[in-house]
Amino acid sequence: MSKDMTGAEMVIEALADQGVKHLFGYPGGAVLPIYDALFQQDKVRHVLVRHEQGAVHAAEGYARSTGKVGCVLVTSGPGATNAVTGLTDALMDSIPIVCITGQVPTHLIGNDAFQEADTVGITRPCTKHNYLVKNIADLPRALHEAFHIAASGRPGPVVIDIPKDVQFARGAYAKPTEFPHRGYRPKVKGDADKIKAAVELMARARRPVLYTGGGVINSGKAASQKLRELARLTGFPVTSTLMGLGAFPSADPQWLGMLGMHGTLEANMTMHDCDVMVCIGARFDDRITGRLDAFSPGSKKIHIDIDPSSINKNVKVDIPIVGDCATVLEDMLTVWRASGAKTDKKALGDWWKQIDKWRARKSLAYRPSNEVIKPQYAIERLYALTRDKDVYITTEVGQHQMWAAQLYGFQEPNRWMTSGGLGTMGYGLPASVGVQLAHPKSLVIDIAGEASVQMTMQELSTAVQYRLPIKIFILNNKYMGMVRQWQELLHGGRYAESYSEALPDFVKLAEAMHATGIRCEKPGDLDHAIKEMIGIDRPVLFDCVVDPKENCFPMIPSGRAHNEMILGDAAEKLDEAIGEEGKVLV
């Protein structure tokens, strides 16, 4: 059954039919018909952001914390170009987003009209797919297809560019079920013989590791459940990328911590020395592998990924399995149980002994202080005081992000929202707006840096407007800390432009924006201040003044291998925990 309506009404109708409750956006000339249609209904609630980049990040936070598609509505020209950073971020981290952009009327396209930009041209490389809908008859299909494409397979952002005359035009709207896609069919089920081969290889493993990533989160809660089952069944150690944190509980003894450039020693050494690596929904990113020719040289590799182009992109694997993580893991468990596969208990026991030696190095240790708040201490206290609550964490990008990833423990998926692939400073604050909107009763904390947070600061107004009690916990070290760290390590300590000059008074800033500001400068005051922050039912800007010189360790300097990590000076000194070869390198 089809209904006659305008293009603008179709947009709203399609959003409602796709189950969209919240839409993040910013009005402008070329989307006014859609805003007019929004005004006259109450199925979809619009959230007015302060900048279009914030709209996309908010939608990302919304999507990442719920597993649903995040929706954005922006105008033509600058509206669309401002959204590009967010779209690229969503593409890199595989976040399902549908972004509707207004466009100048069809007859003006290509004429350099006011607020015209080649939106499909600009967003082609930063979306999974995009549409320019020039004909009202094509609009319902484009809208429904967009949701299907955004959410299925490897998720990603989809842009629908709708000229203003198409928004006004009348046409027949039809419901989503009537639009099967002609060519797009992502493969969900893994090949049975590959899964069988993988299980056989895993059963023979003497030094195995499960290396998991954001794909496990994207695949849904079932995937995390299956991962936990597999880990329990096999007794294998588990590590994860930045994007995959929470899929496996950090409280579990089989958890090694995050791997990669700022991962733990035990995670990286396990990756380096393993003989069977099972990569589940991760993509061998350069922050993970370090030097490619020295990446886990002695291991057989199994790679489960829904995107065939992720396989053999950076690292050649022995058993590639294309399919959805949850589905493949379930099949793997079935095969494992049916075949009565047994692990080599003795070998595994020795492997764990070795891992425990690496753990004993305490690679995340830092020198505590009574004078100044160490950033690691701040994260540890924040974790200790919020771990029993229903909490969601977002971050900006930099040192604070790595410390949060290292030291905040995640027990469940969808609780950790961060910009991994693109590394977008300014992601966390708007993302927390989206998360809080989806989970109004939960505690949502943006762990931020004083530099990052200034990039999308204005979204604090959005939080105030919609009474979203987000907590922005700024680790204020008065530097772009990660930039400063690299300059210290690689550029002779010449701190070019990395000092945060002329910082605002964050407490007064918060007050000026009708939020609450808290400053804490002494370790002794920290617990009390954090408790105060948690207790306030409004947005809080927390200025946590930390040691400006602290660096984030451990660290694999790029171009180095996993066993060539730099450790902080508080880590246990070289001892039997590490072999002769390692001593030279660490």
Which amino acid does the sequence have at 569? D
Parallel/antiparallel/unpaired status of strands 170-173 and 3-6? antiparallel
Q: Which of 128, 164, 226, 301 is catalytic?
A: 164
Phi, psi of 549 (to 5 degrees): -100, 0
Question: Which of 116/459 has CB closer to other proteins?
Answer: 116
- Residue closer to other proteins by CB (options 24, 284) is 284
Angle value at C-alpha 226, between 339 and 251, nearest 5 degrees: 120
- Smallest separation, CB 65 to other proteins (Å): 26
Closest among 61, 37, 159 to 433, alpha carbons compared: 61
CB–CB of 136/170 below 8 Å?
yes
Question: Can you give the binding site for other proteins, defined by CB under 8 A?
Answer: 120-121, 124-125, 128-129, 132, 149, 181-184, 286, 289-293, 307-309, 311-313, 316, 367, 486, 488-490, 549-551, 553, 555, 557-560, 564, 566-571, 586
CB of 183 to other proteins, least distance (A): 4
Closest distance of CB 121 from other proteins, Å:
7
CA nearest to 96, candidates 52, 188, 158: 158
Nearer to other proteins, 293 or 580 (CB): 293
Unique residue bearing structure tokens 């590799």? 301
Q: How far is the CB of 316 from other proteins (least distance, A)?
A: 7
Contact by Cβ (8 Å): 382, 447: yes
* 532 has catalytic annotation: no
Query: Is 544 or 571 the residue whose CB approaches other proteins more closely?
Result: 571
**Are 443 and 386 within 8 A, CB to CB?**
yes
Q: Is 164 a catalytic residue?
A: yes
**24 touches 71 (CB < 8 A):** yes
Assess whether the previous peptide bond of 548 is cis (omega < 30° from 0). Answer: no
In contact, 99 and 126? CB cutoff 8 Å: no
Of 172 and 294, which has the nearer Cβ to other proteins? 294
Q: Which is nearer to other proteins, 2 or 312 (CB)?
A: 312
User: E strands, 34-182, where?
Assistant: 45-48, 70-74, 97-103, 129-132, 157-163, 170-173
Please report how close the Cβ of residue 309 comes to other proteins at its closest, in angstroms.
4
Residue with smaller CB distance to other proteins, 193 or 293: 293
Question: DSSP string of 299-338?
Answer: -EEEEEES-GGGTTSSS--SEEEES-HHHHHHHHHHHHHH
- For 507-513, the CB contacts below 8 A with 24+ separation are 507/541, 507/543, 509/457, 509/541, 510/460, 510/539, 510/540, 510/541, 513/460, 513/461, 513/464
Q: What is the dihedral of CA 569, 572, 577, 583, to 10 degrees?
A: 20
Catalytic: which of 5, 417, 455, 482?
482
Which of 221, 205, 430 has its CA nearest to residue 318? 205
Q: How far is the CB of 373 from other proteins (least distance, A)?
A: 15
Quickly count: other Cβ atoms within 10 Å of residue 325's Cβ.
Answer: 30
Question: Closest separation between CB of residue 293 and other proteins, Å?
Answer: 6
Nearer to other proteins, 189 or 228 (CB): 189
Token output for 222: 């079932």
Catalytic, 580? Answer no
CA distance 289 to 260: 7
> For residue 582, which of 567, 569, 566, 563 has the smallest C-alpha distance?
563
Measured from the CB atom, the residue of 22 and 484 that comes closer to other proteins is 484
Q: Which of 13, 52, 450, 459 is catalytic?
A: 52
**Least distance in angstroms from the C-beta of 313 to other proteins:** 6
Question: Least distance in Å: CB of 286 to other proteins?
Answer: 5
CA atoms of 384 and 209, how far apart (whole Å): 29
Q: Which of 114, 522, 549, 583 is catalytic?
A: 114
Report the candidate in 83, 102, 79, 130 with the shortest Cα–Cα distance to residue 31.
Answer: 102
Catalytic one among 21, 115, 458, 572?
Answer: 115
CB of 390 to other proteins, least distance (A): 36
The smaller minimum CB distance to other proteins, of residues 124 and 467, is found at 124
Q: Tokens 């202080």 sit at which residue?
A: 369
Kindly list the catalytic residues.
52, 114-115, 164, 482
